[in-house]
Amino acid sequence: MLLSELNTNEFGIISKVKGSGAFRRRITEMGFVKGKKVIVVKNAPLKDPIQYNILGYEISLRRNEAALIEVVSKHDELPKLNGFTGTITEEHLRTSATEKGKEINVVFVGNPNAGKTSLFNFASNSKEHVGNYTGVTVSSKTATIKHNGYTFNITDLPGTYSLSVYSPEELFVRDFIIDEIPDIVVNVVDTSNLERNLYLTTQLIDMDIKVVVALNMFDEFQKKGDTFDYISLGKMLGIPFVPTVGSKGRGINELLDKIISIYDDKEPYQRHVSINYGDDVEKSIQKIRTEIKENNKITYKLSSRFLALKLLEKDHHIKDKLLNLPNYKVIREDSKKEIEKLENVFQEDSETIITDAKYGFIAGALKETYKEGTITKRKTTEILDTFLTHKLFGFPVFFFLLWLMFQSTFTLGSYPMDWIDNGVLLLGSYISKIMPDGSLKDLIVDGVIGGVGGVIVFLPNILILFFFISLMEDTGYMARAAFIMDKIMHKIGLHGKSFIPLIMGFGCNVPAIMATRTIEDKNNRILTILINPFMSCSARLPVYILLIGAFFPKHKGSVLFLIYAIGILFAVIVALIFKKFIFTKDEQPFVMELPPYRLPSFRTTTKHMWSKASQYLRKMGGVILVASVIIWALENYPKNINYSKDYDSQIAMLEESIKTLPEGEKVEVTNKINVLKFDKSNESQSNSYLARIGKTIEPALTPLGFDWRMGVSLLSGIAAKEIVISTLGVIFQVGEDEPGSIEPLADRLRHATYTSGNKQGEKLFTPLAAFSYIMFILIYFPCVAVIAAIKKETDTWKWALFTIFYTTGLAWLISFVVYQTGSLFL
């Protein structure tokens, strides 16, 4: 009987748990497993939920959830026990539950002519009509057999190519699986026609049910002489694959054995994998799924992910299952919106988008496990793939594209960058001319324009970088890059799938860290997250561009490439170390989707680029603006400083005297005035709050070749890396004497000198110090947004804090080594 039918104070022994995979996993964690005793604490008729006691814990279940758990209780008619006359004890129930638990309901599904009926006949010894044409099996047939002490109720269903309900057969099969909730679905596939047959498998995977694949027609496949590593494929899909020959009955015992071990949860690699449908579709799925899950009225029986997908595929039949949900209207409206959104982005029917993704999943899975062209569809894709994912040619192409990306970022970006730079300078001097002197003018010119303006000039570079990344994603090339990197990634204990988040990290670490969701293995995922900050994000790029332009003008592109390469090198080394000492567990294999190549439309790519860039602009208006103003204020206050000399009256005196001097002597006095002004602002700056903070940390930074001003800029970079620039912009105002002739920041940095200490007057940024500084910026504290993302994605502060400390510690160490060894030689 069902658990929900037990009355208060009665108990039952669990014999079977049905329902969707997610439900079963949740319920199993609570202790609802075969053979366990459940006591009903309170079951008021018509009342939901019901209270149970299992393993000493009180747990409440909804009535319809409890209806998915089968139990044996005193109400059940027990099988006749030898000479039994007395009362029924718990022991008897337990024995009976074990017996009942050994009854497995199995259905055979598969494409027409895959050999379901042949297998069914051999398994059941019955003689159903077996024919070599489509549509022979019109309704279902069930047979009961015994094997290894288990009872199998096997049902043979009509053949279907998919579960998308185009035909009555498809609807019949799908509803049978949903309504009858078989314990195991045996997916019979034609091994010599895998790509098409596995399509149905991907739909079964989406349904999150227990599946065993019978690789039928294995004899035909063997004749072809292809090689197929079906064990690896099974591990990737979390589904066991058993070779069979339906016409001769070969492999049937192995198939039945596998069914038993899956049923008893004894199969080591049985697990639920999610097919990754790509960012846009996944976002839509997530949205609808959350709504479906909201009232928990259906997900115990049907996977919410499956339902969301079906809605996105415009499956009209699925709404019957959802009609009763209180928020059905919202779900319907939102699905409509999401479909529109997707079709707008892809310029394609939503069904096609999902079908393509499924074939991409299959192609990726087969590419790794099947040798010899099963992939006959999509010719262009095949031809391009032979070249782009080639063992040897793949790499040079890939590195060339990466190099091209960085080179273009620089060269193409430099023109609009100059325009914006000039615009910012013009705006600054224009405003300083029209505004009266005072704090407000300083705030606007130095704080706002100097700070935000210093950062906005890098927008073109960032747009170009994002354009390239979007282009690689949209064409499908990124997936290939992941594919060819797979072997290499394995060498550092990662998977090819980690590669895309890492490349995305060049854009921004935050979405990159979110993109690690496609990595199913937890350790692998955390490791990918931890090394992601070494992928220099686009916020670090402006800092590099500024410093490289100022100090390594002859080799700009190469130095930039070198910095990124060093970042990657650190990622590799750190990954190796972490893998060795922290994440020692072996990973689970999974499929890398190979979506078909698409000619990206300019619209789609710019749209993707823009959605990334707009985040950047928002950051500019928000955190960067605020931080610039704060830094400016810290630098300009306190105002009432006890100067070592009375600068103002001395300057005033000289300015007075200059009027009466002959032309020839004016220059000398003007110089004197400038020196006084320079000294004054130096003195004011080194008394500022900013300087006080900077000087506190200065001792720790001197060995790295940094002074307090550089230290302060690093501190400000904790909020966001661009702020390093705005801070430098605000701090290195010194030297601007003639209004209207502000030097570019790069020149100001080049001319900056130590203002105190034993190096006073020496150049602050030697190329070595600049490089050491770049190294520090490359490695240290990512930024608050990244730390927040790590916390969110790993669900614990542990990894977020760990990232803060290990990156900053490593940054210090590396800069120390660079600067100290460099100082020995230079």
Spell out, one character per residue from 156 to 195, where the chain touches ligand GDP: x when CB under 6 A holds, - when not: ---x------------------------------------
Stretch that binds Mg ion, among 41-49, 113-121, 261-269, 353-361 (CB under 5 A): 113-121
Q: Is 130 left (phi over 0), alpha (psi -120 to 50) or beta?
A: beta
* Residues 408-427 contacting Mg ion, CB under 5 A: none
User: Which residue from 690, 684, 674, 682 is spatially nearest to 642, judged by alpha carbons?
Assistant: 684
Neighbours of 802 (CB within 10 A): 16
* Contact partner, 82, from Mg ion, ligand GDP, none, Cβ < 5-8 Å per class: none
Instruction: Return d(Cα 770, Cα 764) in angstroms, integer.
Output: 9
Spell out, one character per residue from 214 to 233, where the chain touches ligand GDP: x when CB under 6 A holds, - when not: --xx-xx-------------
User: Which residue from 163, 162, 158 is spatially nearest to 116, judged by alpha carbons?
Assistant: 158
Q: Are 187 and 201 a contacting pair, CB within 8 Å? A: yes
* Residues 415-444 contacting ligand GDP, CB under 6 A: none
Quick check: 155 binds Mg ion (CB under 5 A)?
A: no
Per CB under 6 A, the list member of 39, 59, 130, 273 interacting with ligand GDP is 130
Neighbours of 645 (CB within 10 A): 11
* Residues 591-610 contacting ligand GDP, CB under 6 A: none
Neighbours of 672 (CB within 10 A): 14
Helices (H) and strands (E) in the chain, counts: 36, 13
The least CB distance from residue 204 to ligand GDP, in Å, is 16
Stretch that binds Mg ion, among 49-57, 130-138, 708-716, 722-730 (CB under 5 A): 130-138
* Residues 104-123 contacting ligand GDP, CB under 6 A: 110, 112-118
3-state DSSP assignment of residue 84: coil
Measured from the CB atom, the residue of 131 and 553 that comes closer to ligand GDP is 131
Q: Residue ranges of the alpha helices (H) in 161-312? A: 168-180, 194-207, 218-224, 230-237, 252-263, 279-293, 304-312
Per CB under 5 A, the list member of 43, 73, 117, 528 interacting with Mg ion is 117
* Contact partner, 501, from Mg ion, ligand GDP, none, Cβ < 5-8 Å per class: none
Measured from the CB atom, the residue of 159 and 450 that comes closer to ligand GDP is 159
Instruction: Return d(Cα 242, Cα 125) in angstroms, integer.
Output: 20
Quick check: 131 binds ligand GDP (CB under 6 A)?
A: yes
Quick check: 85 binds ligand GDP (CB under 6 A)?
A: no
* Residues 511-530 contacting Mg ion, CB under 5 A: none
Stretch that binds Mg ion, among 80-88, 109-117, 346-354, 582-590 (CB under 5 A): 109-117
Measured from the CB atom, the residue of 123 and 515 that comes closer to ligand GDP is 123
User: Which residue from 148, 176, 392 is spatially nearest to 264, judged by alpha carbons?
Assistant: 148
In 3-state terms, the chain is what percent helix, strand and coil (to 5)? 60, 10, 30
Residue 481, C-beta contacts closer than 8 angstroms, at least 6 positions apart: 398, 472, 499, 500, 503
Per CB under 6 A, the list member of 15, 43, 137, 733 interacting with ligand GDP is 137
* Contact partner, 612, from ligand GDP, Mg ion, none, Cβ < 5-8 Å per class: none
The least CB distance from residue 216 to ligand GDP, in Å, is 5
The least CB distance from residue 407 to ligand GDP, in Å, is 56
Q: What are phi and psi of 760, to 5 degrees?
A: -45, 130
Stretch that binds ligand GDP, among 129-137, 175-183, 253-261, 300-308 (CB under 6 A): 129-137
Which residue in the shown chain puts its C-beta closest to Mg ion?
A: 117
Quick check: 118 binds Mg ion (CB under 5 A)?
A: no
Quick check: 34 binds ligand GDP (CB under 6 A)?
A: no
Task: Report DSSP letters for 675-718, one per residue.
Answer: HHHHHHHHHHHHTSHHHHHHHHHHHHHGGGT--HHHHHHHHHTT
Q: Are 288 and 331 a contacting pair, CB within 8 Å? A: yes
Stretch that binds Mg ion, among 63-71, 117-125, 328-336, 702-710 (CB under 5 A): 117-125
**Tokens describing residue 478:** 């990124």
Bridge partners for 370 per DSSP: 228
Residue 517's Cβ-count burial label (10 Å; 0-12, 13-18, 19+) is middle
**Site size for ligand GDP (CB under 6 A):** 21
Measured from the CB atom, the residue of 12 and 115 that comes closer to ligand GDP is 115
**Tokens describing residue 18:** 């049905």
CA 153 to centroid of chain Cα atoms: 42
Measured from the CB atom, the residue of 134 and 144 that comes closer to ligand GDP is 134
**Tokens describing residue 430:** 């224009």
Residue 636, C-beta contacts closer than 8 angstroms, at least 6 positions apart: 439, 442, 446, 684, 688
* Contact partner, 246, from ligand GDP, Mg ion, none, Cβ < 5-8 Å per class: ligand GDP
* Contact partner, 349, from ligand GDP, Mg ion, none, Cβ < 5-8 Å per class: none
The least CB distance from residue 134 to ligand GDP, in Å, is 7
Stretch that binds Mg ion, among 114-122, 219-227, 511-519, 729-737 (CB under 5 A): 114-122
Per CB under 5 A, the list member of 96, 137, 755, 803 interacting with Mg ion is 137
Residue with token string 């019901």: 50
Q: Are 494 and 576 a contacting pair, CB within 8 Å? A: no
* Contact partner, 705, from ligand GDP, Mg ion, none, Cβ < 5-8 Å per class: none
Measured from the CB atom, the residue of 124 and 247 that comes closer to ligand GDP is 247
Q: Which residues of 252-275 are buried (b: 16+ CB within 10 A; e: fewer)?
A: beebbebbbebbeeebeebebbbb
Spell out, one character per residue from 238 to 267, where the chain touches ligand GDP: x when CB under 6 A holds, - when not: -------xxx--------------------
Footprint on this chain of Mg ion (rule: CB under 5 A): 117, 136-137
Footprint on this chain of ligand GDP (rule: CB under 6 A): 110, 112-118, 130-132, 136-137, 159, 216-217, 219-220, 245-247
